[in-house]
Amino acid sequence: MNTSLINQKNQTCIDTCNECAMMCEACCTECMSNTEMAGMMGRCMMMCRDCAMMCTMTAMMMARGSEYSKQMCEMCATVCDACAMECEKMGNKMEACKECAEMCKKCAQECRNMMR
């Protein structure tokens, strides 16, 4: 199997997953540093951490042409959707959450595109 062809085919989704992971990490950090709202941000932080890990693992599996890439993309889309919903709850109070929610939605869509 030619992994360079697989990587090119999957590159948009790989890039989007990596961007989403970085955005989730940034959102989590922003939530932790907001001492005023830290108590309300627990679930958001946990979802962002889960989403970042899932996106990173999905990108790595696609990059190496894993036979489980489609299943990972399906799970990644599910986790991204959940993270987006949680971040949207705080999006009117924190810009990082709003941006993270948008990125998660974009990543979920890219992952769904890969499942076709």
Structure tokens at 88: 């949207």
Q: What is the pTM of this model?
A: 0.90
- Cα radius of gyration rounded to whole Å, the chain: 14
pLDDT tens per residue across span 24-70 = 999 999 988 887 877 788 899 999 999 999 999 999 999 999 999 99
> What pLDDT score does 6 carry?
55
More confident residue, 4 or 48: 48
User: Which residues, other chains included, contact 46 with Cβ-Cβ below 8 Å and sequence gap of 6+?
Assistant: none
Cite the DSSP H helix spans in 34-94: 42-63, 69-90
Residue 62 to residue 105: CA distance in whole angstroms: 19
pLDDT band at 5 (very low <50, low <70, confident <90, very high): low
Instruction: Give yes or no for residue 78 having a pLDDT over 90.
Output: yes
Residues sharing a CB contact under 8 Å with residue 24, sequence separation 6 or more, in sequence order: 48, 49, 51, 52, 55, 83, 100, 103, 104
Express each pLDDT in 6-27 by its tens digit. Answer: 566 799 999 999 999 999 999 9
